Each structure stands twice: as structure tokens, then as C-alpha cells.
């Protein structure tokens, strides 16, 4: 009898003499595998890695797009700024603005290229409102704003968005709107109708005539009659002047001077009134011409009608020679014009003469008298007669400036400057150049800074209550004589205010 041996492996049986593994072992292996946590995060990492890479690429594409958009917007802003800086309402403004854009954004190798340029005369009331055709202009004298649109740029994306039905490219674009305004401060709140505008001129033609006169030395010799507009209702013409509401600041109502007039007289008399005006538009206000003239006359050492006690507040020019005399050569605060035909020179004292086309000849006796109807002179005036009377005695008696002849080739302003070297020369009536009523003087007080308006062609009808009237330019005028005995003022045009003048502040800013 044989005895079979047993083993410790209870899960094994012999089948036909060969051992086999029981099903329990398989179950145990499966359970062990299921319970094994080593490497369980790998599937999650695999899935999340795809998401993380996708989000990272998306963020990279977003950053690239934002950078591109920012660069395009910066380029549009810079081009709009460059163009707007040229929009000074002069006839060549649009041409200069376009050239500025071409210089910086029109080259073949430029990173930012211009797609469209629009010039605007105004903007919508709200930034959210669209720019309409009514805002557009091709008139350089009305263009105050420019809209620059740059060419869009397409950027290929790193993320293959087409897999999800999207686009594999992003397009960025930009536009900017900038504007220009000229602001002048410490400025006399007064305007003068463009002396060089003639009937029938367009606004642009009138502005061009003003620019031509500013650049023409011969044109600056022409005398201009300045006539007040207090009693006028319409039909304001060359040489008419009126008064402005300050854009910022206020009229010095409480300052020493006439108690009436709302401070206009004091502002006109002041050396540096605390008022500012802007080129884009001014508001006109009515005022008293007589008080305004009295304010201007303080520049000639004449203090009347409320200014008598204000000599220290409103000093005169250092050269106030004006063809005046006084009884017994004393009390020059009461001096009067010399002769019945002043400012035409006589044998006692001489003011700077008017132009020859402003003089009428009496047919009966050949005497000269002033023609008060001529607004713009022809530039021909008798300097020799003036010098012989005004400087009849003194160091400069025989030393007139070059060009001071019977048909002068020198401006009155140049004579005024030259004769400061001979300020003590006397006329037969004992007038000298120094102010004598108020001895303290300031050089160039007889230079008047004013706004210049194209009264004949202005898009806003000119009246003493007109609002938002565009200014053709800001100019300087030299007062040749004071207003006396109801007569008008006379002045020479010295030219337009330049960007380098200390009164001027060019304002360029982005609006959109």
C-alpha cells in the first residue's frame, strides 16, 4: 500500500498528474492590483496636462494679442498727436497735418501703417456717440480734430483653435482722435475784425489774407482804423473791435477804475489781465466804447473818467509821444491834441501820421483833414514831416532812422523803437517822449494783443452777443495814437502770436 505525500500549497490540485492554480489566487491578484495605489495620479496628470498646456497656449496667445493691440493703439495715438499739433486753423493746417502723419506712419517699413485719416470740425457731445459726416471737414481753417485709423494686423495663433471650430488667427486694429486748441493767457479781452478781409472772401481766403499780412513786412506798414461796435447791430467790418467774455479768469470788476463797464475798462488798461481766450471759439459781450477807450488811453499817459486815481495801477508806455500840448507847458495830465486836424501833424506837435489815403484835401483851401471812413491804409506815410516836428530840438534832431522820408519805407513801430534813443527830444510845443503825468513807464505798453475774427465770413453771425465764434488768429497791434475827441484809434498790425510767445499755450490732447 502506497502512501501519497501532501504539500503546503492548498490551492494546487493535480489533474492528470499536473498541478493547476485554483480560481482564488486570481481573485487575490486582482484584489491586490486594485488595492495597489502606486502611480494612480498618472491618468489624471495625463488628462490635466492637456488642459494646462491648452490654457497656457491660450494665455500666451492672449498676451501676444494684447501686446499687438497696445502697440497699434500707441501708434495711432502718436500719429493723431503729431497731426493734431498742426491744426492751428491756418490755410495749410491739413496739409501739414497729413505730412506729419506720412512722416511717421506712411513708410513701407513702418510697423504701424495708416489706413484712413479724417479731419473734423467738431466732435459728438458724448464719447459713446459715433462720428457722423456732419462732423467732417476739408477746410483747414475749421479743422480742429483728426481721426487716425491704422491698418489692422492679423496674428497667427499658437493654439490650433480650428480643432474646436475657431480661427487660427486674430486681427487687431486701432484708431485715435486728437485735437488742437491755442490758448492765450494774460490777454486783453478784445477782438478786432480782420482788417485784411474784403467783401466776398471765404473764411479760408480771409484767414489766408491775414497770414499773408503777418508775413509781409510791407503789409505791416499799413495803418488800421479801429472803430468800436457799441452802437452797431450787424455788418461788422474790417477794423471794428469789440469785447470778449474770458474763457477762464474774470474781468477785474473790483479793480481801481471806472465804477461802470463791468471791468472791461480795467481789463483793457491792465498790463497782464487775469484772463485767457481760446482759438476754437470765443463769446462776444457788449460794453461801453468810451470806457474801453479810456482804458487803452492809459497806455499813452492819459488818465480820465475814473482812471485819475489809478495811475500806479496802470502805468503808461516809456514812449508816449502823441502830438499833444498843454497850456504853459505845465500839468501834462490835462494835455490836449495839437491842432484842429489832429492826428495830422501841425507846426506845434506831431503824432505818428496816418496813411496818405486816409487824408482828405479841402478843395477850397488845400488844407488836410482826416477821412474817418477809411479802415485800411495803403502803407504810405510822411515820416519826414513827423520827425521834423516831433524831434525839432534835441540830440536826434538831425538823426532820423533810415527810411524816415516823405514816403516812408519804415514802419511806425520801428520809428517808435528807434526814437527811444532820443526820448528827450522836444517838439515846438514842448512835448517829449517820456510820460509826464505818470513818470513810471513800461516798454511796449502800446502793443495791444487781441483776438482776430473774420467778421464778414464767420460761420457764426457777428453781433455783440454772439457765442462760440471761431478765432482766425491772435495778433499784435501797435497803437500809433490814442483815442481823442471822439476819434478812432489807429494801429499797425505787427503779426500773429507765435507758439514761442510767452502768452501762448498750445493744447494738444487725445479725445478718443
CA distance 244 to 263: 12
DSSP letter at 300? G
Q: Please tell me the predicted confidence (pLDDT) of residue 64.
A: 75
Q: Please tell me the predicted confidence (pLDDT) of residue 432.
A: 92
DSSP letter at 60? H
Cβ proximity of 194 and 206 under 8 Å: yes
Quote the cell numbers at residue 459. Answer: 460761420
Cβ proximity of 174 and 69 under 8 Å: yes
The model's pTM: 0.80
Q: Please tell me the predicted confidence (pLDDT) of residue 334.
A: 87
Residue pLDDT, tens place only, 371-388: 888 889 999 999 999 999
CA distance 289 to 179: 36
Per-residue tens of pLDDT for the chain, all 512 residues: 444 444 444 455 555 555 555 667 777 777 766 666 666 677 766 767 666 776 776 677 677 778 877 878 888 888 888 888 888 888 888 888 888 888 776 555 467 778 888 888 888 877 778 888 888 888 888 888 988 888 887 777 776 765 655 666 777 778 888 888 888 888 889 999 999 999 999 988 999 999 998 888 877 789 999 988 887 777 888 889 999 998 887 788 888 878 888 888 888 988 888 888 888 889 999 888 888 898 999 999 999 888 888 888 899 999 999 999 987 777 888 889 888 888 887 889 989 999 999 888 877 777 788 888 888 999 999 999 999 999 999 999 999 999 999 999 999 999 999 999 999 999 999 999 999 988 888 899 999 999 999 998 888 888 888 898 999 999 999 999 998 866 778 999 999 888 777 777 777 888 88
Quote the cell numbers at residue 157. Answer: 495663433
Cβ proximity of 168 and 160 under 8 Å: yes
- Neighbour-count burial of 229, counting CB atoms closer than 10 A to its CB (0-12 exposed, 13-18 middle, 19+ buried): buried
| b/e sequence 235-245, b meaning 16+ C-beta within 10 Å | ebbbbbbbbbe
* Residue whose grid cell is 493744447: 507
Cis peptide before 343 (omega within 30 of 0): yes
Count of helices and strands (H, E) across the chain: 8, 21
Amino acid at each position: 500500500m502506497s502512501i501519497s505525500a501532501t504539500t503546503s500549497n492548498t490551492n494546487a490540485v493535480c489533474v492528470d498528474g499536473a498541478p493547476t492554480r485554483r480560481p482564488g489566487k486570481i481573485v487575490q491578484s486582482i484584489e491586490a492590483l486594485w488595492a495597489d495605489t502606486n502611480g494612480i495620479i498618472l491618468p489624471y496628470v495625463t488628462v490635466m496636462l492637456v488642459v494646462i498646456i491648452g490654457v497656457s497656449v491660450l494665455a500666451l496667445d492672449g498676451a501676444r494679442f494684447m501686446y499687438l493691440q497696445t502697440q497699434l493703439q500707441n501708434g495711432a495715438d502718436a500719429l493723431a498727436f503729431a497731426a493734431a499739433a498742426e491744426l492751428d486753423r491756418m490755410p495749410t493746417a491739413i496739409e501739414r497735418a497729413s505730412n506729419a502723419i506720412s512722416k511717421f506712419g506712411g513708410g513701407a517699413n513702418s510697423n504701424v501703417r495708416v489706413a484712413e485719416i479724417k479731419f473734423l470740425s467738431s466732435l459728438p457731445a458724448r464719447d459713446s456717440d459715433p462720428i457722423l459726416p456732419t462732423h467732417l471737414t476739408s477746410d483747414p481753417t475749421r479743422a480742429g480734430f483728426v481721426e487716425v485709423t491704422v491698418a489692422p494686423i492679423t496674428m497667427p495663433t499658437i493654439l490650433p483653435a480650428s480643432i474646436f471650430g475657431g480661427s487660427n488667427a486674430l486681427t487687431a486694429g486701432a484708431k485715435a482722435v486728437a485735437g488742437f486748441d491755442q490758448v492765450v493767457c494774460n490777454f486783453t479781452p478784445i477782438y478786432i475784425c480782420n482788417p485784411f478781409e474784403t467783401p466776398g472772401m471765404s473764411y479760408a481766403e480771409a484767414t489766408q489774407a491775414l497770414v499773408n499780412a503777418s508775413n509781409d513786412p510791407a503789409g505791416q506798414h499799413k495803418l488800421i482804423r479801429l472803430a468800436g461796435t457799441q452802437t452797431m447791430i450787424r455788418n461788422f467790418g474790417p477794423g471794428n473791435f469789440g469785447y470778449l467774455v474770458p474763457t477762464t479768469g474774470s474781468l477785474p470788476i473790483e479793480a481801481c477804475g471806472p465804477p461802470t463797464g463791468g471791468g472791461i475798462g480795467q481789463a483793457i488798461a491792465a498790463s497782464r489781465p487775469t484772463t485767457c481766450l481760446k482759438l476754437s471759439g470765443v463769446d462776444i459781450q457788449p460794453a461801453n466804447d468810451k470806457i474801453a477807450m479810456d482804458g487803452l488811453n492809459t497806455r499813452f499817459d492819459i488818465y480820465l473818467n475814473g482812471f485819475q486815481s489809478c495811475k500806479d495801477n496802470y502805468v503808461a508806455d516809456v514812449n508816449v509821444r502823441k502830438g499833444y500840448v498843454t497850456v504853459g507847458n505845465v500839468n501834462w495830465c490835462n494835455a490836449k491834441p495839437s491842432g484842429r486836424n489832429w492826428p495830422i501833424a501841425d507846426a506845434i506837435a506831431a503824432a505818428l501820421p496816418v496813411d496818405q489815403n486816409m487824408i482828405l484835401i479841402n478843395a477850397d483851401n488845400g488844407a488836410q483833414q482826416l477821412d474817418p471812413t477809411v479802415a485800411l491804409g495803403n502803407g504810405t506815410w510822411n515820416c519826414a514831416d513827423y520827425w521834423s516836428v516831433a524831434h525839432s530840438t534835441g540830440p536826434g534832431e538831425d538823426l532820423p532812422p533810415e527810411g524816415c522820408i516823405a514816403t516812408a519805407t519804415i514802419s511806425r513801430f520801428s520809428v517808435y523803437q528807434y526814437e527811444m534813443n532820443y526820448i528827450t527830444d522836444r517838439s515846438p510845443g514842448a512835448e517829449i517822449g517820456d510820460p509826464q503825468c505818470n513818470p513810471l513807464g513800461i516798454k511796449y505798453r502800446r502793443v495791444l494783443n487781441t483776438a482776430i475774427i473774420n467778421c464778414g465770413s464767420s460761420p457764426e453771425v457777428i453781433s455783440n452777443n454772439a457765442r462760440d465764434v471761431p478765432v482766425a488768429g491772435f495778433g499784435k497791434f501797435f497803437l500809433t495814437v490814442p483815442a481823442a475827441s471822439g476819434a478812432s484809434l489807429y494801429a499797425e498790425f505787427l503779426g500773429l502770436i507765435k507758439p514761442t510767445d510767452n502768452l501762448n499755450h498750445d493744447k494738444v490732447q487725445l479725445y478718443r
